[in-house]
Amino acid sequence: MSRILTLGIVAASLSVAGQVQAAAIECSYCEAWNKEQAPFQIYGNTYYVGPRGLSSVLITSPQGHVLIDGALPQSAPLIAKHVEQLGFKMTDVKIILNSHTHYDHAGGIAELQQLTGARVVASDKAATVLRSGRVGADDPQVGHLLPFPAVANVVSIGRGQSVEVGPLKLSLMHTPGHAPGGTSWRWQSCEAGRCLNLVYSDSLNAVSDKAFKYGGDPRYPTASSDLKSSIAAISAAPCDVLITAHPELSGMWDVIDENGKGDRARLIDSTACQRYAEGAKQRLEQRLASEKDKK
């Protein structure tokens, strides 16, 4: 979550094949975030299934699939439709993961869980928020974040290092700072005998409500040091293809159009994670300097 101007929640009928109904969230950017995007293969067994403005990624195997992020509550029907358009079944999704627990990335998880029967796996801090649907007071953006549908059957991963489904193994990176409990994920996908490292990076931006100070705030005293560590972790990760929670931040739409067409080979860039991390580092330094100037 980054910029929010006007916010609200409105009930909406969003059932998929007669399944659960969800509450839609209204915000200044929600309509643009939830714009239709044709699903497409990123690399190997990894597919983009989210709307245009919010990433959701499916990693597949014959023994079951993993889904990362659920976007907005009203995104869940789109994500489900995209999974099936690609020829996969929602009921084969066994685990749902999350980057961070803001309504634009976690809002659709409750409905997606009910559609799939999957377990939701999250860091300890994130699991608490997912179960309630409300961020804690320590979140830098709590002043302008909305609640989202609470999620059942959330498994806390603790300091675990990986999540596995059949042959799939996703390595966990704890990447807090943008939000407490934030996580990023790394795995390998293979295509035509070539295996690459894919990274789904959590947001690394120092964004907050008006009251919060990244330079030191009792609400979350370690926010700056956490974010610096997270930036370093993404920079150091083995990374051939970068996927970000907001897809434009990885340059995804410089390559792929709304119809899912484009030269997928251009998504392969072994410097992408380092460049993404360097940009985040510079923005954090600018934020900290700005806070000092305002004292």
Confidence of residue 180 (pLDDT cuts 50, 70, 90): very high
Share of the chain above pLDDT 90, in %: 87
Share of the chain above pLDDT 70, in %: 92
Burial class (CB in 10 A: 0-12, 13-18, 19+), 276: buried
Confidence of residue 8 (pLDDT cuts 50, 70, 90): very low
Q: pLDDT at residue 11 above 50?
A: no
In tens, the pLDDT along 181-193 reads 999 999 999 999 9
Quickly name the fold that domain 7-28+38-293 has: Metallo-beta-lactamase; Chain A (3.60.15)
Q: pLDDT at residue 2 above 60?
A: no
Q: pLDDT at residue 39 above 90?
A: yes
Predicted TM-score (pTM) of the model is: 0.92
CA dist 144 and 26 (Å) reads 13
For the chain, count helices (H), then strands (E).
7, 14
In tens, the pLDDT along 94-123 reads 999 999 999 999 999 999 999 999 999 999
Query: Which parts of 107-258 fold into alpha helices (H)?
Result: 109-116, 124-132, 223-236
Confidence of residue 37 (pLDDT cuts 50, 70, 90): very high
In tens, the pLDDT along 276-295 reads 999 999 999 999 999 988 76
Mean pLDDT of the chain: 92
CA dist 124 and 95 (Å) reads 16
Classify the phi-psi angles of 38: left when phi > 0, otherwise alpha if psi is within -120 to 50, otherwise beta: beta
Interval 147-152 mean pLDDT: 96
> Could you tell me whether strands 183-191 and 194-201 are parallel, antiparallel, or unpaired per DSSP bridges?
antiparallel
Q: pLDDT at residue 4 above 80?
A: no
Of 5-14, 128-137, 156-165, the poorest mean pLDDT is in: 5-14
pLDDT for the residue 172: 96
Q: pLDDT at residue 7 above 50?
A: no
Would you kindly state where each structural domain of the chain is located, as residue ranges? 7-28+38-293
pLDDT for the residue 160: 73
Q: pLDDT at residue 3 above 60?
A: no
In tens, the pLDDT along 64-75 reads 999 999 999 999
pLDDT for the residue 22: 53
